[in-house]
Each structure stands twice: as C-alpha cells, then as structure tokens.
Amino acid sequence: MKPKIAILATGGTIAGVIDDAITTTGYKAGALNIEVLLDAVPQIKEFATIVGYQISNIDSSNMSNEIQLNLAKKINKLLTKDEIDAVVVTHGTDTMEETAYFLNLTIKSDKPVILTGAMRPSTAMSADGSKNLYNAVALAINEKSKNKGVMIVMNDRILSARAAVKTHTLNLDAFSSPNFGDLGYILDGKVYFYNTIEKLHTKNTPFDIDHLEDLPKVDILYTYSNDGSGVAAKALFENGTQALVIAGSGSGNIHENQKNILKELMKKNLIVAISSRIQVGEVILSKEDEDFGFICAQNLNPQKARILLMLALTKTKNSKIIQNFFQTY
C-alpha cells in the first residue's frame, strides 16, 4: 500500500501567478489553490496517496500567529491518525524558517513534517515549485525522515527547521544552514542524509499549543549606530509587548544608552533576549548582563528567537528557565 501524505497549502510563490513567463518579480503570491498545485506534479501520485488541505492562501510576509497556530493544530490532529504517514506544507519562502521552527517546537509526533515552497511563481519559465514539491513528498515518505524534527526542502537541499535561513532574496538557491550545515540533499528523487540535529524538538519539547488561541506578544528591535533613544522599546512595552528580541551588533552588543533603557523596562517585567544581526556565530553575554536577566539567544537568529520566546512565555516568565529553553531547543 502506498504511504498517505497530507499536503497543507498556505500560499506563497509556489502558488504565485503572473501573466508572462519571463517575469519573476511583482507576481501575486498565494493565487492558486491546492488542487492546482497537486495537478502540476502528477508524478507524486505514483508513490504516495495524497490528501490536500487549504489552510490559507497568503504571501508569507503576512504570516500571523493565528495561522501558525491553526496550522500546528491541524498537523497535530492529522498525525494522530494511523492512516496519515507524514505532512508536507507548502509555504511562502519569506517566513518559512519561522513557521518551520514553530512547528519544530509544537508538533507532537515523530512522523515527518516537511515544508517547501518556490522562488519563482508557477507561471515562470523554469519555475521551481513542482520539483520542490516532488522532493518534499519523496522526503516525507522516506523511512529515515522520522524523528528528525521539522525539515525544509528547497533546491534539492534538506535543511533542519532550526538551522534553515533564507539567505538570498531572489536566487533559486535561497536557503542554507549558515551555522552548522544542511542535513542532506535529494538527487533524482533519492534522499541522502549526512548530518543530524542534536537540539530537542517535536515530542521532546514542553510546548503544547492545542488549547491556545493566541501567543504572547514578542517583538524584535534592530541595533544600529546612534541607536540610543529607546523610543521604540518604550512604545512597544507600553503597547503590550511582553518580551523583546534584540538583533544586537556583533556577538550581541547593544548601544549603552539603549541598554540602560532596556534595563529600566526589565525592572517593570519586560523580558529581553539578545540575538545578533550577524548571520553566523554565537551571541556572548557578560556575566553582569546574565545576572541582570538578559537571555542569550545563542545562535538562533532574531526571527527564530522570537518564535521560541513566544512559546517559552506560555510556560514561564523566569529568565533562567527561558535561558535553559534556548540551550535545549
């Protein structure tokens, strides 16, 4: 019997359309529905039984907590069924790494969950969506894909949700794992794994979103020279932000004036995690900052640190416990 795969469509360029084959910008993302996406890749039906669901049809720059929560709940429900062997999610590439990491922390199954998308709209000459979707299903049915956490497949690369970063605005080869490398690659439909991921994921996290309707408000502040007014930090805090991720300079540094303002807000219970605007490497905190309660995002980029921090806040406000989450997941 063929494995049964649920494909959940959320929109993005893979479902994008424009009326000429040469143009690969300015198209409408999230224009085609799941049936059209599946009809474009009839080959997958040769090795899997497919059931499709439309979750949303958006440009992923408009991704929301609400859609991410609905998606995770739907996947958790599908994967409890014996007859569903794996899930593939089609997603815009802009925020794919955030949704992938969110699912990596909230899916309670060791069955494969794979995200894929496209850099060129479906109407483009040399569109990449069909091959990416084919590869995603090939990975989803592979025995070795179980218990590896959520994965992304783009341009023949297999990337872990934790490591994957969109590192090019337009190229087909837009995703990489700049810190520790990809998990493997797919060639002519065959899956080759080379690396494993040690950070805990899926069933081995404490995050349970099935009864949540929303997530704590966490925002990101970017560091730059002359960044000392603190207007944005104060405004966000007054507007209900519970925690901030700082995209610090270098190994997680912040202008001292900005840091003093953050410290004042932390005394009023704002939680602050420090990441970096640099793509590769670790953030290092001084003993003094650690003792004050700043949380080190280690090598998680700001947008992924925000995802973990939102989920962490559903469990605790204790900065030491949250720091431990950053070490573990």
What's the closest the beta carbon of residue 78 comes to ligand ASP, in angstroms?
23
State which of positions 22-61 bind ligand ASP (CB under 6 A): 29, 59-61
Q: What whole-number distance in Å separates Cα of residue 320 and Cα of residue 294? A: 9
What's the closest the beta carbon of residue 33 comes to ligand ASP, in angstroms?
15
Closest CB to ligand ASP among 84 and 154?
A: 154
Closest CB to ligand ASP among 1 and 22?
A: 22
> Could you confirm whether 202 is annotated as catalytic?
no
Residue labelled with tokens 């970096």: 276
Q: Does 94 bind ligand ASP (CB under 6 A)?
A: yes
Residue 196: Cβ-neighbour burial (10 angstroms; 0-12, 13-18, 19+): exposed
Q: Does 12 bind ligand ASP (CB under 6 A)?
A: yes
Closest CB to ligand ASP among 68 and 241?
A: 68
Q: What whole-number distance in Å separates Cα of residue 289 and Cα of residue 274? A: 10
Q: What whole-number distance in Å separates Cα of residue 24 and Cα of residue 56? A: 22
Using CB under 6 A, which of 92, 112, 184, 252 touches ligand ASP? 92
Question: 151 with 161: CB under 8 angstroms?
Answer: yes
Catalytic residue among 10, 24, 90, 93: 93
Alpha helical stretches, state H, the chain: 34-39, 65-80, 96-106, 129-140, 231-238, 256-267, 287-292, 302-313, 319-328
Q: What whole-number distance in Å separates Cα of residue 232 and Cα of residue 236? A: 6
Q: Does 119 bind ligand ASP (CB under 6 A)?
A: yes
Specify the amino acid at residue 317. Answer: K
Q: What whole-number distance in Å separates Cα of residue 145 and Cα of residue 126? A: 28
Q: Does 3 bind ligand ASP (CB under 6 A)?
A: no
What's the closest the beta carbon of residue 104 comes to ligand ASP, in angstroms?
19
What's the closest the beta carbon of residue 117 comes to ligand ASP, in angstroms?
5
Catalytic residue among 13, 24, 90, 202: 13
Using CB under 6 A, which of 56, 90, 93, 106 touches ligand ASP? 93
> Could you confirm whether 223 is annotated as catalytic?
no
Interface with ligand ASP (CB under 6 A): 11-13, 29, 59-61, 92-94, 117, 119
Q: Active-site residues: which are they?
A: 13, 93
